[in-house]
């Protein structure tokens, strides 16, 4: 789709990858503050979380991936443990269906399956999307993969199946646990911890809650890796300022990209904390950040799907390591779902608080690209291939 298409697609990804770990960091702080009641402001937990996992990612890819695998296995084990322990204490009719059509809590449950109708289902799309956000970062590990043609499709498909199963189990079981309920979870900052509290009280919930944090930690750690690689790749190609593609002299990791992206995410959190009134506004901060991240992701998905359709039509015979079984119909469905999600985000008052920041982000980056970035692009092999389809084989890459 040309340099501007590539830039805008990368910029949408950048919004997602900067803000998604910020949202996760917010909820990590919420869990830790709730469990330990130290009186520390949430931003202390945010700084500590970013600092620890930045150090791990800068230290080296091998260490980073080992930590990711271990934490992910622990996280999956805790989710399965929670489902197994909760199963004898589930009452879907009494607890999961305890919201009335007027939005009030039903003391005896037995409410409608969809209390707000189809509009309510569609309005929940941004939060449903959140369960799968950043799964598309897997290809950013292509340079560390032994056999990308085999490993990446397999990894993405297995990750998707894992997410579908675990998301369905948790969303179905957690609200149905005795003493929890959908109404309570609607304003919860630590839903799994609330489930453990209902089962074992505060004393038993704290050690299990600490272990349950592994899910948030695994997501945060992995997406910080994606954040660094995404900024590094855009800088290396000329879309972002060149210094962001420098690597650490010892560890060879994109430390400046990691530091810059993390600092930006943390700065946005701190600004919202001050502007919205600190601790009292904490739930709003989580919602604002989440909507901003999903906004960037939906725009990114739309551009990727358009790119997919363009490639299929212009280069139908191009060798591909994986062929989507859904083809252009699947890409069209992605565009439709993403557009509906964006539409319903616009109906959320919390979205309007964050959209201005995203617009400023886009305007600033676009001005840089228009004035400087587009004049210093360094073509990747994929871009050379794309241009050769139009201009012939004479075009050479600007870098080896």
**What is the DSSP secondary-structure string of 181-194?**
-HHHHTT-S-HHHH
- Please state, for a pLDDT cut of 70, what percent of the chain lies above it: 92
- Please state, for a pLDDT cut of 90, what percent of the chain lies above it: 28
- The model's pLDDT over 206-264, given as tens digits with 9 standing for 90+, comes to 776 677 687 788 888 888 988 998 999 889 888 888 899 898 888 888 999 999 999 99
Give the Cβ contact number of residue 309 at 10 Å.
Answer: 16
Bridge partners of residue 105, in order along the sequence: 99
| CA of residue 77 relative to chain centroid, distance | 21
- pTM greater than 0.85 (yes/no): no
Which one has a higher pLDDT value, 67 or 220?
A: 220
pLDDT at 376: 82
Residues in the chain: 400
- The model's pLDDT over 328-374, given as tens digits with 9 standing for 90+, comes to 999 999 999 999 998 888 887 767 767 777 888 889 989 988 998 88
| Average pLDDT for 196-206 | 75
Which one has a higher pLDDT value, 381 or 120?
A: 120
**Per mean pLDDT, which range of 100-109, 112-121, 171-180, 270-279 is the poorest?**
270-279
For residue 395, how many C-alpha atoms fall within 13 Å in the half-sphere facing its CB?
Answer: 16
| Average pLDDT for 37-66 | 85
Alpha helices (runs of H) in 237-372, residue ranges in sequence order: 255-275, 282-314, 327-345, 349-371
pLDDT at 393: 53
């Amino acid at each position: 789709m040309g340099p501007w298409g590539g830039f805008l697609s990368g910029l949408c990804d950048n919004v997602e990858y900067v803000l998604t770990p910020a949202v996760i960091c917010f909820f990590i702080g919420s869990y830790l503050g709730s469990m330990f009641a130290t009186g520390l402001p949430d931003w202390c937990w945010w700084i500590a979380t970013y600092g620890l996992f930045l150090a791990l990612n800068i230290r080296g890819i091998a260490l980073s991936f080992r930590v990711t695998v271990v934490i992910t296995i622990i996280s999956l084990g805790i989710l399965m443990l929670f489902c197994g322990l909760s199963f004898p204490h589930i009452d879907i009719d009494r607890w999961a269906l305890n919201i009335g059509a007027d939005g009030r809590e039903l003391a005896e449950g037995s409410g409608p399956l969809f209390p707000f109708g189809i509009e309510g289902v569609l309005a929940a799309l941004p939060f449903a999307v959140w369960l799968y956000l950043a799964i598309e970062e897997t290809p950013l590990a292509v340079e560390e993969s032994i056999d990308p043609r085999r490993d990446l499709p397999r990894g993405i498909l297995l990750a998707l199946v894992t997410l579908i199963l675990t998301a369905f189990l948790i969303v179905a079981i957690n609200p149905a646990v005795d003493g929890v309920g959908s109404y309570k979870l609607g304003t919860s900052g630590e839903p799994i911890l609330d489930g453990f509290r209902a089962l074992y009280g505060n004393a038993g919930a704290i050690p299990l809650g600490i272990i349950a944090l592994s899910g948030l930690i695994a997501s945060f750690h992995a997406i910080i890796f994606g954040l660094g690689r995404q900024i590094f790749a855009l800088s290396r190609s000329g879309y972002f300022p060149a210094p962001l593609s420098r690597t650490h002299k010892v560890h060879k990791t994109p430390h400046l990209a990691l530091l810059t992206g993390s600092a930006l995410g943390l700065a946005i959190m701190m600004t919202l904390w001050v502007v919205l009134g600190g601790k009292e506004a904490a739930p709003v901060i989580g919602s604002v950040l989440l909507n901003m991240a999903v906004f960037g992701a939906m725009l990114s998905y739309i551009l990727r799907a358009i790119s997919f359709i363009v490639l299929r039509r212009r280069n139908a015979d191009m060798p591909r390591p994986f062929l989507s079984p859904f083809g252009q119909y699947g890409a069209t469905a992605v565009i439709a779902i993403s557009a509906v999600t964006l539409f319903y985000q616009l109906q959320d008052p919390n979205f309007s608080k964050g959209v201005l920041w995203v617009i400023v982000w886009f305007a600033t980056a676009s001005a840089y690209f228009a004035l400087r970035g587009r004049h210093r692009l360094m073509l990747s092999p994929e871009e050379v291939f794309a241009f050769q389809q139009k201009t012939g084989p004479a075009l050479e890459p600007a870098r080896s």
